Every structure is written in structure tokens, then in C-alpha cells.
Amino acid sequence: MKKSVFLGTLAVAGLAAGFASAQTLAEVQARGSLNCGVTTGLTGFAAPNASGEWEGFDVGLCRAVAAAIFGDATAVEFVPTTGQTRFTALASGEVDMLARNTTWTFSRDVDLAFEFVGVNYYDGQGFMVPRALNVSSAMELDGATVCIQTGTTTELNLADFFSSNNMSYEPVPIETNAEAQQQYLAGACDVYTTDASGLAATRATFEDPSAHVVLPEIVSKEPLGPLVRHGDNEWADIVRWTLNALIAAEELGITSANVNELAAGTENPEINRILGTEGDLGAMLGLDAAWARNAIAAVGNYGELFESNIGENTPIGLARGLNAQWTDGGLLYSPPFR
Amino acid sequence: MSEIHAQTVSYVRETMLPEQEPPVTERGAIKWVRENLFSSWLNGLLTLISLYFVYWVLSHTLGWMVYGIWDASSLSECRAIRDELYGEGANVACWAVIADRWHQLLFGFYPAEAYWRPVLALILFGGALAPILFDGLPRKMLMLSIAAPFVCYWLLWGGTIWGPAAVALGFVIGGMIYAYSQSIIGVLGATIAAVLVPILYWLFLAGPIAGALGNTLPIGINAIGSAEFGGFLLALVIGASGIILSMPLGVVLALGRQSDLFIINKFSVLFIEVIRGVPLIVWLFTASLLLNYFLPPGSNFDLMLRVIIMVTLFSSAYIAEVVRGGLAALPRGQYEGADSLGLNYWQSMQLIILPQALKISIPGIVSSFIGLFKDTTLVVFVGLSDPIGFSNLIRATTDWNGIYWELFIFIGLCFFMFCFAMSRYSQYLERKLRTDHR
């Protein structure tokens, strides 16, 4: 019944294949919606609510890009991708961008031919232990049993950390975060290790979170960022500068509440350039002059996005830490808009 | 004689004794218990141990289930209500997650205002299956069965009604060619033409015809993309399409494997062995990953369609082997009898061989189908939101993070309902078709 559709698609795709790669923006605009790859559910970063709308920190970035292109934050099709399917989904054009907690590594950037356009969350691997163990540092974990997700970079980081500190450990291999929570609570392991944001989210679900502590040591660098395909730099620019606009907006004090007021014109030329009242940055991207204004109005600036999804007022309760603005001692540093 | 009788008569009872009840140990519940539970000291011991085990399981789960909390909006609220009702740390279920999210477990992202469409499609599907499954129903209902696939497709995905109608027309064309051209180009020619002409029609004519009709008479409902499908809707669509499509394909492959024609025979063997020799999960990854590499970039045809194709191929290889078992179990005389009646190959298959072979294969076919339906949960690994996938998504919200058993029990019960129904039907069919005198 769908054979005709299938073969028709094949034929059209074959014709289009030659020049499909360099015009993602045109494709997205013709389609009328952005295809954004997200996780198959990660607390605080991407999950559907009871009415089926996606919410979360990564989701917010997808919505910001959609708002920058269309002026409409709902013009996004979210495509859940697993750890195995995410890169093919992007490479094959099934999604236009990935905002999926993906660590920026050399080989992913170079060998897999993707373009990481920035970092929206600086994460790192940490350890969680029951408070009753009276452990205050990861250096005291010699001989511990450790719950660890198999086949992830966390497994390798763990081995590196213990061997470089001349400590031994006994791994308890587990498959998913859900299983890890159960095993850890049942006492099958002394320590649970994964990304610090994941630890915080897991700890928040416990009956008594105060009975568990996340140790201060962070043993790896996990810069998580959105990525696009190699070879379409115009498209990469749009995603990169949307992210930068959110970060710069926080630095400059533009929020979703005051963006329309500021868009009337301010004393600060950089704010004017971002919001499109001065210069023609939007036109350079091939977008409307109000692109950044729409993005900020839709999801708020970086700080608002952080606070509403994973910040200290949410059950996850992550501190800004490395993800604070450079002016506050963090790593967020947007290049200037000029 | 009479003297003897006269002397003995005083010892003979002249009236019947009233019937007495059997001893208490030989009747009613006590007899049943003695015979079935305590027939020897070993059985008695095992009974006691089993009873204790059942008690132990129920005492740990029944209270948890029965006292479960149904009205809360998040796990922490659930825990607060529990502390208030039953005291700190009591062990009760939080069914509120089902009350809050059942619609997503059943329909996925399907828009709520369109839930009537899958429900109607399911009713229609049931109505279409009924005349096939139960031969007591009027034969006119078979018309419904023929129309159902197209109507169900239209209901689920929406869009213009002319698309499915134009595709259905292809089958009508094929059927007419087969029926009326046999006298002109022979049976083989008619068969080939009946396959080729509809394919050409679908490739080149169906699209323009549907488009033209859609422009002149725009009848249609809101189109809903495959990405919105999830939960049991997804499992049922994949399972039902797989089951319906794999059955004819499986029979054809089984016949192909028995065929004397060299190429058909070897092709069938190769197909069956390759498909069966590789796990389903690998085929699903092939569908979702490898196909993308082989196809030109930018050509992404529906992931759900790719998965349905793979599931169908996988299941048809298994069905083929089950049916081949049925074919092999038929005595050679049946084949020779059919030949001696002067039936051609298709007639003998249709009238004599397949009805018997399929009857033998029923248990195997149904258990393949049950397996196929349950295997649909594997699509979670290629990023489709089937019930298991959706339970992960629900758990990923801050409201319900940390909830497990309630979701899995709900999903398990739903799967059980479908699989148990299939199993009961297969037993009914076996009883009905039993023609020997056991």
C-alpha cells in the first residue's frame, strides 16, 4: 500500500541527493518545521509532559532555533534517538540538528564528520554514595563496588580514575539508569557513577535524598553540545549563534520578560544588534531581523532555560557551577555580536 | 428350592436400604482436597510449601496493589499522601502514574482530540477479523474485511481518502485481470499480468489519480504523521501489519521451498535461512541505521514503515518454516490424489493441500504471532516510543522519575490480554477443525 510512496520517495531522493547537503535552512523552511533529535527521555533535558509536549533543557534549544527561523517555538518535530541511532539519524538527514546530551569529542567532531556548534552544558562524571558510608572524597573509594552503565565513556573514565590513583574497584555492570537506581538503592553496589547531572536527577527521585551524597570529585570532562552535519556552514551558523544569543542575552540582562521592551531600542549597541534594531545580523544568517528576539522571547535566555529545567528551584537542583557566565566564574563565554 | 428359600427368607431384606451419603472423606470438597492436594505425605508437604509460597507472595504484593494511591500528580505527592494515610515509609503502589499517563501508554503522542480514530480503527479491525476467525458469521461481512485495511490506514494516518482508495483500486485491477484474462493469455500469463499491471499502476498512475481526485473532491481528515504514534497503538499497528502481511508471504515462501523450480526453490531457502539466522534486533538496526547509509542522503522514508517491513520479513520466514512443517506432515497420497483429479497446481494447493497443512500448523502459527507481537517491544532500541519506550519517557519527567513496577505491571497486563486472546482463539480453532475421532 505504501510501495508507491516508498519508491516515489526513493526516486525523488535520488535526484535531490546531489545537492541536498548544503541547503538545510531552505529544506527546513520548505518543510515548515525543524526536525530536532533529542534523547529517548532524560530527566531535565528532554521528556514529554502529560499532554505530550516535549520539555527540558535540550528541548529548549530546539525550540529556540525553531523560533529564530520561524518565529514560532512550536514548529519543531522532536525525534527521539537512542545512543546508537543518534549519529545516523543526523548523518542521513532524518534530523536537522541533535540536541541530545552528546559529549563533544575529537573523533565525533572529526571522524564522524559532525560539527559541534558549541557547548550548552558542561558536565563531568561524578560519584554518589550513601551518607551512611561516611565517605567524603572519591579518593577513599578503594575496594568499593561500583554500579556502572556498560558500553559508555563513563566506564572507561572510571577505570582510568581508579588505576591512576592506585585503587581497586569491583564493577557491577548495569544496562540503564533505571536499573542503576534500583540496584544502588537495593545495596548491590556502594557507589553509583555517571554524569553529575544524571546523579543529581537520580538522587532527587530517592525517598530520602539527604541519605546520599554526591562526592566533590569530577573525574572527566563532558562538554555536552548541539551538533549538525559537516558541510553546511550556513546552517551550523544559525544553530551556533542561536545558542550564543541565549548565552549573550543572559550576560546582557535580556530576559523573556523584558525582551520586547528592550527591542524598542536601548543605549547598549550590542543589545540592539542582537535584537535586530541595529545592524543586519539576521540578514547575514539568512533569517528575519528579529531572529534572536524571537528565540529569547520563546524560551528565555540561557539562565532562564537552566533555572526552569534543571536549576536549583527544580527537583533536580543543579547549581550553575561551570555553567555560570564567565563574569561569574563559569565557562559560558559568547563571542561578541558585531 | 422353595424350602431353602423359605428358610433363608427371613435373612433377606425385603425393602431397599435408603441411599447413604458416602463417608465424609469420600465426598465433596474433602475428597477433592484429599485426592488432589494430600494424596501422599510428599504431596501434602509440597502442597503446604506451595500454599505458604502463594501466601508469602500475596502478602507482599496484595496490600501494595490494593492500597495503591490513584490520585496524585507526581511521585513526591504520592509519597506525601501515603505518609498521611498509612504512615511514614509504608509500602504501597503509586497507580497515579497510570491515571496521569495512561493515554500516552496507549496512544503515544497521538493528538488527544483524535483518539476516536484509533479506537474506531480497532473496532473496525475487530469487525473485519470476526468473519475470518468465526465462520458462523454472515459471509457478507467479508466485504468489511476487504475494505478494513484501507479504511484503518485512512483513519490512523488521516489525509485525503483518495490515497488509500487509489491504492485499493490497484488490487481490484489485479483481481479483474486474473479473473478475466485467463482464457486469453493462460493461467501463468494471467498470474504474471495480475502482479505486474497493479505494480505499474501504483508506480505511475495511483499518485496522479489520487491527487486529481483530491483536488476535485477534497474529502479527508487531519493528517497525523507516524512520529505521533506511540504506546500500544504503535505496538498494535506494527504487530497487526506484521501478522497480516507475513501470513501470505510465509505461505508463498513455504510453497517456494517445496517447489521443483530451481531458482524459486533456492531463493526461498536463501531468504528463509538468512532472515532466520539473524536476530530480529539486528534487522531492526539494519532498518534504522544501515538503510540510511545505502539510500541516498536526505531520503528518509518513514522509520515505522521500515520497521514494519523488517518485522514482516522476519515473521514470514518463521511462518514459512511452520507451514512447511504442515506441508511435510501431509501424506504423499493427498498430493497424488489432487493430481489425479486433474487439478492444476494452484487449485490443488487451494482446495486440498493448504487447508490441511494450515490446520496442522495452527498452534505453530499462533505462537509465532504471539512472539511477533511481543517482539514489537524491541523497537524501543531504534528510538520508537512503544509502551516500554514510553515508560522510559514518562520516567524521564521530574514528576515520575523513580517509578518502575506500576508502569511495567500495566504494560504487562495489556500485553497479556492480547496474547491470551490469541492463544484462546488458537485452541478454539484446533477444537473446531479437529476431524479425527480422538
CATH number at residue B401: 1.10.3720.10
Between A151 and B421, where is the model more confident?
B421
Q: Is residue B143 part of a domain?
A: no
Domains of chain A: 22-122+223-328 (3.40.190.10), 125-220 (3.40.190.10)
Does residue B379 lie within any of the structural domains? yes
- Strand stretches in A105-232, DSSP E: 114-116, 121-123, 125-130, 144-149, 169-174, 191-195, 212-214, 222-229
Q: How far is CA B341 from CA B180, B182, B338, B352, B355, in A?
A: 24, 21, 5, 11, 17
Q: B237 with B297, same domain?
A: yes
Q: Are residues B237 and B207 in the same domain?
A: no
Please report the pLDDT score of residue A289 as a whole number. 92
CB contacts under 8 A, A 92-111 vs B, are 92-94
Question: B76 at the A interface (CB within 8 A)?
Answer: yes
Residue B202 with chain A: CB contacts under 8 Å: 3-4
**Residue that is last in its domain, among B66, B86, B118:** B66
> Which of B91, B195, B397 is the best substitution to test chain A (most A C-beta atoms within 10 A)?
B397
Within a domain: B9: yes
Asked if B410 and B275 sit in the same domain, the reply is yes
Chain B residues touching A93 at Cβ < 8 A: 297-300
Question: Which residues constitute the domain of residue B191?
Answer: 159-221
Residue of A nearest to B225 (CA): A77
Residue A3 pLDDT exceeds 80: no
Residue B360 in any domain: the answer is yes
- Predicted pLDDT at B297: 57
Q: Calculate mean pLDDT across residues A198-209.
A: 85
- Say yes or no: B211 and B255 in one domain: no
Backbone φ and ψ for A2, nearest 5 degrees, come out as -105, 10
Predicted confidence at residue A227, as pLDDT, reads 94
Buried b / exposed e across A23-38, counting CB within 10 Å, b at 16+? ebbebbeeeebbbbbb
DSSP string, B229-285: B-HHHHHHHHHHHHHHHHHHHHHHHHHHHH-S-HHHHHHHHHHHHHHHTS-HHHHHH
Question: What angle, rounded to 10 degrees, do the helices at B116-133 and B142-157 form?
Answer: 160
Measure the CA–CA gap between B291 and B46, rounded to whole angstroms: 56
Scan for cell 499462533, then name that residue: B366
Cell of B96: 497515579
Cβ neighbors of A29 (< 8 A, separation 6 or more) are: A69, A70
List b or e across A322-335, with b for residues whose CB sees 16 or more CB atoms inside 10 angstroms.
bbbbeeeeeebebe
| Distance of alpha carbon B132 from alpha carbon B243, whole angstroms | 14
Instruction: Assess whether B289 and B349 both reside in one domain.
Output: yes
CA distance B365 to B251: 11
In this structure, what C-alpha cell is assigned to residue A141? 573509594
Q: Using CA atoms, how far apart are residues A200 and A45, in angstroms rounded to an integer?
A: 12
pLDDT band at A82 (very low <50, low <70, confident <90, very high): confident
Q: Give pLDDT tens digits along chain B (438 positions).
A: 555 555 556 677 788 888 888 888 888 888 888 888 888 999 999 999 999 999 999 998 898 899 889 998 888 899 889 999 888 878 889 999 999 999 999 999 999 899 999 999 999 998 888 888 777 778 787 888 888 888 999 999 988 888 888 888 888 888 888 888 877 877 778 888 888 888 888 888 888 888 888 888 777 888 888 888 999 999 999 999 998 899 999 999 999 998 889 999 999 999 999 999 999 999 998 888 777 667 665 555 788 888 998 999 999 999 999 999 999 999 999 999 999 999 988 889 889 999 889 888 888 888 899 999 999 999 988 888 889 889 988 988 888 888 888 999 999 999 999 899 988 988 888 888 777 655
Q: Is residue B139 part of a domain?
A: no
Same domain, B403 and B275: yes
Q: Tell me, yes or no, whether B166 and B268 share the same domain.
A: no
Look at residue A12 and tell me whether its pLDDT is greater than 60.
no
Tell me how far the alpha carbon of residue B393 is from its chain's centroid.
25
Q: How far is CA A139 from CA A154, A157, A163, B230, B413, in A?
A: 17, 15, 12, 45, 47
* B297 occurs within a structural domain: yes
**Number of domains comprising chain B:** 3
Rounded Cα distance, B161 and B147, in Å: 13
- Are B425 and B279 in a shared domain? yes
- Name residues 141-160 of chain B within 8 A of A (Cβ): 149-150, 153
- B411: which residues sit within 8 A by CB, 6+ positions away? B105, B387, B388, B391
Does the CB of B23 have a partner CB in chain A at under 8 Å? no
- Indicate whether B153 belongs to any domain: no
pLDDT band at A190 (very low <50, low <70, confident <90, very high): very high
Neighbours of B19 (CB within 10 A): 6
Residue B128 lies in a domain: no
Query: Which stretches within A127-275 are classed as H helix?
Result: 153-164, 177-185, 196-204, 233-252, 259-262, 269-275
Instruction: Please check whether residue B294 touches A, CB under 8 A.
Output: no
| Residues β-bridged to residue A209 | none
Q: How far apart are the C-alpha atoms of B415 and B423, rounded to whole Å?
A: 12
Q: Where do we find the cell 535586530?
A: A276
The answer on B426 and B342 residing in a single domain is: yes
A110-114, A197-201, A232-236, range with the lowest pLDDT: A197-201
Q: Which of B284, B293, B229 is nearest to A93 (CA)?
A: B293
- The half-sphere exposure of B181 on its side-chain side, counting CA atoms within 13 A, is 16
> Is B167 in the A-facing interface, judged by CB distances under 8 Å?
yes
Spatial distance between the Cα atoms of B262 and B228, rounded to a whole number of angstroms: 45
- CB spacing of A314 vs B398 below 8 angstroms: yes
Residue type, B125: F
Compute the distance between CA of residue A90 and CA of residue B293 in angstroms, rounded to an integer.
11
- What integer pLDDT is reported at residue A7 of this predicted model? 41
Asked if the Cβ–Cβ distance from A47 to B397 is below 8 Å, we say yes
8 A C-beta contact, residue B394 and residue B320? no
**For residues B39 and B71, what is the distance between their CA atoms, to the nearest angstrom?**
49
Same domain? For B275 and B199 the reply is no
pLDDT reading at A97 higher than 70 = yes
B307 shares its domain with B163? no
If asked whether residues B193 and B313 sit together in one domain, one would say: no
In the chain, the amino acid numbered B367 is S
